[in-house]
Amino acid sequence: MSAAIPELKQFDEAELDRVFTGLEAEVAAQARTLTGGESVETFRLEWLGRKQGRLGQLSAAWLKSAPVEAKRSLGVRFNRLKAQIESLLTENVEAGGTGDPAQVLDVSLPGSAPRIGAEHPLVKTMAEVVGVFQRMGYSVGLGPEVETDFYNFEALNFPPNHPARDTQDTLVIADQEQKPLRERLLMRTHTSPVQIRSMLEQAPPLRLVIPGKVHRNDAADATHSPVFHQVEGLCVDTRITFSDLKGTLDHAMKALFGSAVKTRFFPSFFPFTEPSADVQISCIFCGGKGCRKCKHSGWIELLGCGMVDPAVFEAVNQRREQMGREPVYDTRKISGFAFGMGVDRIAMMKYGISDIGLLYSGDIRFLEQFS
Ligand code: PHE
C-alpha cells in the first residue's frame, strides 16, 4: 500500500492533476484485485472509512491549507475521486465481483432463487376439507367476517335475548346501540350466516361449502383462540333427508381421515337445525380402543350438523320478498341439511399440533415444519 497522503508540492492545476491521476490509478488498480465480500469492504474502509479513510485524511490535509483560489478545483477533483470509488463499490457489491467491469455480470452463473413460501397448515387443511366436498359437487361460498346481528343470529332462528346467543361469546363492534338490533355489526361467531346470504342470492337446489375465519370472545389457551376457522356446508333440494346428511358426512370423514374411520351421530341442539346432531369419529390415534387423545372413549367429537329448520327457510323467504325476490324456499317442497366443523381442530389432529396458539404465532420455526 502506498502512502496515505502523497506529497503535494503546490496547488496549481498541473500538480493537482499529477497527484489525482496517481490516486485514481491506485483506486482502479485496487478495484481490479477485489474478490467480493470482505475485500470490497476493506477497499471501502480504506478510502471512505469515517475515521481512517484516505479520502477524509486527504481533505483534512489539503482542503484547509489550500489557497482560496485553489479550493474549487481541489473540490472538483475530490468529488470525482469519490464518485469513482463509489461506482466501483456499487459494481462490486452488485456483482459480488471481480473488480473487472467487463466481468461484473456473468450470465452463465445460476440465478439467485427466491425462497418459496409454503402453505400454512390451516390453509392447507381448509383446502383439503373444501376439496372433499367439491368432489361431491359442492361449490364454494364466502361471506364477510363483520356481520350484522340479522345474518349471524336473527335469520338463523336465535330470538333476541335467547340463551343460545350466550353460547356464542360474541365480539361486537363498538357504538352500534343506536341502531335496531338486527342491523348492529359484530364479528361473525360462525360461518352459518353465509347460509342465509347464499339462499337470498340463489334458488334451490343448492350445494355449498363455506370456509372462513370466525371470532369469539374466548380466552386463549391450548384449545381456544379468539380467532379460528370453520367450514360450513349447506345442501338444499327436494327430498333431502337425514340419511343423506349421514352418508355425506360419513364419506367426508373417511376421505379426510382414512377409510377405516367410523362416524356416529348424537342428538344435539342448534337453533337453525332440527333435528340437530353432534358427529363423532372413531379415534384416529388409537383406532377406537381408547387413549389419552380421546379421553379413553374411543371417539372424538368433530362437528355439528342437522336438518335446516323450517324457521330458517321462512326467514329467508320473508327477506327475499322484501328484496323483491320470489320466496322459493317452499318448506312443503324442499328440505336441506347443514353442518359446520372447526378447521383448527382438524389441522391439529392431522399434524399432531398440541397448542392452537402455534397456528397463529407466525413463528417461522413452527411453520417451516410444514413446508
Ligand atoms: N354454526 C355451528 C357452530 O358454530 C355449527 C353448525 C353449523 C351446526 C351448521 C349445525 C349446522 O357451532
CA of 99 relative to ligand 1 center, distance in Å: 67
Q: Is residue 276 part of a domain?
A: yes
- Rounded distance between C-alpha atoms, residue 112 and residue 40, angstroms: 20
Section 62-81 average pLDDT = 88
- Type of residue found at 153: F
Statement: residue 193 has pLDDT above 70: yes
CA of 274 relative to ligand 1 center, distance in Å: 12
Q: Whose CA is nearest to atom 10 of ligand 1?
A: 305
Cis previous bond, 144, omega within 30: no
Statement: residue 156 has pLDDT above 60: yes
Q: Provide the pLDDT confidence category of residue 112 given band limits of 50, 70 and 90.
A: confident
- Type of residue found at 37: G
Q: 48 or 314, which is more confident? A: 314
Q: What is the pLDDT of residues 194-222, one digit of tens each?
A: 999 999 999 999 999 999 999 999 999 99
Q: Is residue 3 part of a domain?
A: no
Domain match, 207 and 236 both: yes
What is the number of the ligand 1 atom nearest to the C-alpha of 276? 10
CATH number at residue 353: 3.30.930.10
* Lowest mean pLDDT, pick from 21-25, 50-54, 273-277, 351-355: 50-54
Q: What range does the domain containing 243 cover?
A: 121-370
* Domains in the chain, number: 2
Statement: residue 4 has pLDDT above 80: no
Q: What is the pLDDT of residues 6-59, one digit of tens each?
A: 888 888 889 999 999 999 999 999 888 888 778 888 899 999 988 888 988 888
Domain match, 96 and 168 both: no
pTM for this entry: 0.71
Q: Which of 147, 165, 169, 192 to mutate to test the pocket of ligand 1 (most atoms within 8 A of CB)?
A: 192
| Mean predicted lDDT score pLDDT of the chain | 92
Q: What is the pLDDT of residues 10-20, one digit of tens each?
A: 888 899 999 99
* Structure confidence at residue 168 (pLDDT): 77
Statement: residue 101 has pLDDT above 60: no
Q: Is residue 139 part of a domain?
A: yes
Spell out the residues 6+ positions from residue 263 whose beta carbon is closer than 8 angstroms to its own.
Answer: 246, 249, 250, 253, 279, 280, 281, 282
Q: Is residue 134 part of a domain?
A: yes
Strand ranges inside the chain, DSSP E: 139-140, 146-148, 185-187, 206-215, 227-238, 263-270, 273-282, 299-308, 334-342
Q: Is residue 2 part of a domain?
A: no
Statement: residue 96 has pLDDT above 60: no
- The cell numbers describing 24, all together, are 485514481
Q: Whose CA is nearest to atom 2 of ligand 1?
A: 340
Cis previous bond, 205, omega within 30: yes
Domain match, 30 and 65 both: yes
Section 108-136 average pLDDT = 93
